[in-house]
A and B are shown apart, each in its own frame.
Chain A
């Protein structure tokens, strides 16, 4: 998207209103770029921070919710267990937007089970993995997404193939799966906006270089590698509801017939996917799986919207929970009447 001249969003707020506290991560950390893009995305969508909440696990990535959306509630939980907290929190209040931030250690190792079950249950949340292939806070151990045969000075060689979190999400029936690179701010922002517009769980796996422990030339999660090898599946543009007609007038003529896929999101927004050299159709599940398998075999760094499908019912919908958020129910809808207790007692007598 081209730079906009307007300085305030739909809520009349400047972007600075979406900032958090100052980052304490290393200078140049990819995670800080992601925080900036979350701010951009929420600001551009005109989201009210009071109705967003942020969750995270433990690790460098999980510190970042302090650095964006300072007016949103946040809960920095325990290592790898953010998904279960998200599950309970979204059940308790389904009217809010849940942004979960996690790392590859959180998601790929200690919390892998919870991650898979969150996907399986379709907990409504944007799940962002800030994926750097390494444990930063404990100084450079391999994570489960580290490259096979990668070498580290102290820990030697990683002999194990990496887990592909996008692939895991697709086979767990997630209906929005994207990969991005923190060095590609525009793609990052647009994918985040699209994810925020998705109903149900959306996974955005963002390769985010660790400048201290995993930014070596041989690492596939380094800035240099990402910049040189990033193959974008599409140029993606997210068009919020209400802007569709106006934007169509501007953008549609630029897209040749058959090269653009327009996907209407649950909230009425659209994402326009302009094909690059790739012919990948993200609505094709088998194609998405093949694409990921292939790019792994050929060591290709593919980014973009990998898979999108008609949203499945969310956990709360399947549970048939009341329309009023459970956390906001008045006492009289929570505690049955005196007569109801008397009837239960009579039945037991």
Chain B
């Protein structure tokens, strides 16, 4: 592997790294480190420093190790970095390995009571009497574990120069202003900060958080919350779901926002949310609701997608609108439920038996989670078909900074619907008759328009049962025409063409953050790339044109098989030999470092 040293690591003359390093908190799952980590992220964000938090957690309620990484990047990079510089070692079981991986020159904060043997000479050890401080705080036994994590918040605040006032503000924000809770937590923050100030006055302060203005006007949100908010503004009125990591928090957010945004003056709701008995039932419910004319959605993950396979085919063939969010996690099988991947691309595109192809949206950031959240419902109604949205754990469950969301720029698109009154104008009406030549026919809603018989069996233009070969092929031809229409209607890819580029990158979804950084790293190494970010399936002419421009196209994605590379080869066989799959899947979000090295290695051959 080529290891060109790229200079994203810019130290000042005094050897200090300002707003460009990684913090990691290694804790025990279930010990309540979330408030501590969120507080650090928000305090840094409020200091105007671009920041990204990632929770690398186990599939477990209590006891297994968990890590939370916080990247500060004055350049605004928000992808995962594989290295870290400031460690809060709070998990005795993993401390040896955690300390071993700490970057040279790094800082390790750990509980004094461990009486740790300080074996590394190239790092700074900072011990804090966690147990004594918690005792002194007077925290009840139930809260002890939780508040103990505030010790590393305080130690870091002192070591890194994080404004204590911002820490207190963040605590107030997350603890919803409850003064007693804020005071208890903040007591430990101050205590730890004072301890470090007093006992480690001479320890090097090589990593510094300094105020910037780069986050002004921005907000922080998790992708699942952004998606739920988008759906709310898309007018979703029926949601059915079955709990599955990492999608559950999307429904939690939907419930929270529904209480705020979708309750009528009489206290009744315009959004019904039902916890189904399984994913099959969740799919059935949203299809029933979509057929009836409501806007419906479910959120699930890979195993749920597998279970929804049969129903997805029914909705495709009977042409029923609904929206299915897949917050992707690792497969095959149960895989790693709390780890991220982009492994459901081929599965969802072709979900169900027979010749089925779906529309799949690929949000890459918080704004797209929101935008595709409402747009998916417009597309579902317009195209009368299930719309899949492929987010993933990295987008969905981590905190990202973002520009505020824009209000939908168009009214709700209800598509072609025929009412009782319209029928008089139409004279005759065929539910599956392609009047406009775009493959999209006129549907009718129970209680609101003329009756037809919806079915998953073979049917004519008039929705009557048919086994005739010509009816069958005519229907599939029309569905193919509709799929082609969809190519123009879905969010179009975004191309960044560099005139001097000799090769190109195609990517999608959450990989975007790492691609942005990797392109800068590649450029620094002398390789200029163009970039084409796919935002939906089916693929369209813009992608075809882009592929015509470059001899070498690196398709970067977070799965093992290189699924999008395969799909591109299948769709555009004439360009198949231009496609080089750069795929990786180990449960972690892609890093710019890995992408850069992978492409460099191939380019320098």
Which residue numbers of A lie inside 8 Å of B, CB to CB?
Answer: 21, 49-51, 53, 55, 65-66, 70-78, 81, 83-93, 95-96, 113-114, 117, 121, 315-316, 319-323, 325-329, 331, 333-336, 338, 340-341, 344-345, 348-349
A-B contacts besides A88-B290, A319-B272, A334-B295, 16 pairs, CB < 8 Å: A49-B451, A76-B454, A86-B288, A87-B274, A87-B284, A88-B240, A88-B289, A113-B277, A321-B268, A321-B272, A323-B266, A328-B447, A336-B262, A341-B407, A348-B219, A348-B221
Most chain A Cβ neighbours within 10 Å, of B229, B290, B407: B407
A69 vs B378: C-alpha distance when bound (angstroms): 32
Q: Is the CB of B446 within 8 A of A96?
A: yes
Say yes or no: is B74 at the interface (Cβ < 8 Å to chain A).
no
Given A78-B310, A96-B447, A335-B234: A87 touches B285 (CB 8 Å cut-off): yes
Q: Is the CB of A50 within 8 A of B451?
A: yes
Q: How far is the CB of A21 from chain B (nearest CB, A)?
A: 8
* Chain B residues, CB < 8 A from A345: 219, 404-405
Given A333-B270, A335-B408: A51 touches B447 (CB 8 Å cut-off): yes
A316 vs B273: C-alpha distance when bound (angstroms): 10
Chain A residue with Cβ nearest B240: A88
* Chain A residues, CB < 8 A from B310: 78
Q: Is the CB of A84 within 8 A of B280?
A: yes
Among A88, A91, A114, A333, point to the contact of B264 (Cβ < 8 A): A333
Among A50, A93, A336, point to the contact of B233 (Cβ < 8 A): A336
Among B261, B282, B294, B448, point to the contact of A91 (Cβ < 8 A): B294
* Chain B residues, CB < 8 A from A55: 288
* Chain A residues, CB < 8 A from B451: 49-50, 70-74
Q: Is the CB of B287 within 8 A of A85?
A: yes
Q: Is the CB of A327 within 8 A of B284?
A: no
Say yes or no: is B168 at the interface (Cβ < 8 Å to chain A).
no
Given A76-B454, A93-B293, A341-B233: A336 touches B274 (CB 8 Å cut-off): no
Q: Is the CB of A326 within 8 A of B238?
A: yes
* Chain B residues, CB < 8 A from A326: 237-238, 270, 272, 289, 294
Q: Is the CB of B284 within 8 A of A114?
A: yes
Say yes or no: is B60 at the interface (Cβ < 8 Å to chain A).
no
Q: Is the CB of B272 within 8 A of A77?
A: no
A331 vs B295: C-alpha distance when bound (angstroms): 11
* Chain A residues, CB < 8 A from B293: 92-93, 327-328
Q: How far is the CB of B519 from chain A (nearest CB, A)?
A: 29
Q: List 28 A-B contacts (CB under 8 A).
A: A50-B420, A55-B288, A73-B446, A73-B447, A75-B288, A77-B284, A77-B287, A85-B291, A87-B284, A87-B285, A88-B287, A88-B292, A89-B291, A92-B237, A92-B296, A93-B447, A114-B280, A319-B274, A320-B269, A322-B268, A328-B293, A329-B235, A331-B411, A336-B261, A338-B407, A344-B260, A345-B219, A349-B404
Q: How far is the CB of A205 from chain B (nearest CB, A)?
A: 21
Say yes or no: is B220 at the interface (Cβ < 8 Å to chain A).
yes
Say yes or no: is B452 at the interface (Cβ < 8 Å to chain A).
yes
Given A89-B289, A341-B407, A345-B404: A323 touches B268 (CB 8 Å cut-off): yes
Given A49-B451, A50-B451, A75-B455: A84 touches B269 (CB 8 Å cut-off): no
Q: Is the CB of A76 within 8 A of B274?
A: no
Q: Is the CB of A93 within 8 A of B261?
A: no
Given A81-B311, A335-B412, A336-B233: A91 touches B285 (CB 8 Å cut-off): yes
* Chain B residues, CB < 8 A from A328: 293, 447-448
A71 vs B287: C-alpha distance when bound (angstroms): 21
Most chain A Cβ neighbours within 10 Å, of B269, B296, B451: B451
Among B221, B276, B294, B456, point to the contact of A327 (Cβ < 8 A): B294
A116 vs B456: C-alpha distance when bound (angstroms): 24
Among A53, A78, A329, point to the contact of B311 (Cβ < 8 A): A78
Chain B residue with Cβ nearest A55: B288
* Chain A residues, CB < 8 A from B412: 331, 334-335
Say yes or no: is B102 at the interface (Cβ < 8 Å to chain A).
no
Give residues of chain B (406-448) contacting chain A, Cβ–Cβ below 8 Å. 407-408, 411-412, 420, 444-448
Q: Is the CB of B237 within 8 A of A85?
A: no
A75 vs B290: C-alpha distance when bound (angstroms): 12
Say yes or no: is B218 at the interface (Cβ < 8 Å to chain A).
yes
Chain B residue with Cβ nearest A82: B284
* Chain B residues, CB < 8 A from A121: 274
Among A75, A77, A92, A335, point to the contact of B238 (Cβ < 8 A): A92
Q: How far is the CB of A63 from chain B (nearest CB, A)?
A: 8
Chain A residue with Cβ nearest B225: A348
* Chain B residues, CB < 8 A from A338: 407
Q: How far is the CB of A69 from chain B (nearest CB, A)?
A: 8
Most chain A Cβ neighbours within 10 Å, of B240, B270, B314: B270
A76 vs B457: C-alpha distance when bound (angstroms): 8
Q: Is the CB of A78 within 8 A of B269?
A: no
Q: Is the CB of A316 within 8 A of B272?
A: yes
Among B288, B294, B314, B447, point to the contact of A87 (Cβ < 8 A): B288
Give residues of chain B (361-376) contacting chain A, Cβ–Cβ below 8 Å. 374
Binary interface encoding of chain B residues 190-232 relative to chain A, with 1 for a CB under 8 A from any of its CBs, else 0: 0000000000000000000000000001111100000001001
Q: How far is the CB of B309 from chain A (nearest CB, A)?
A: 11
Say yes or no: is B90 at the interface (Cβ < 8 Å to chain A).
no
A319 vs B271: C-alpha distance when bound (angstroms): 9
Chain A residue with Cβ nearest B446: A73
A90 vs B296: C-alpha distance when bound (angstroms): 13
Give residues of chain B (480-538) contacting chain A, Cβ–Cβ below 8 Å. none
Most chain A Cβ neighbours within 10 Å, of B273, B285, B291: B285
Q: How far is the CB of B600 from chain A (nearest CB, A)?
A: 38
Say yes or no: is B318 at the interface (Cβ < 8 Å to chain A).
yes
A349 vs B446: C-alpha distance when bound (angstroms): 43
A21 vs B273: C-alpha distance when bound (angstroms): 37
Most chain A Cβ neighbours within 10 Å, of B267, B282, B286, B408: B286
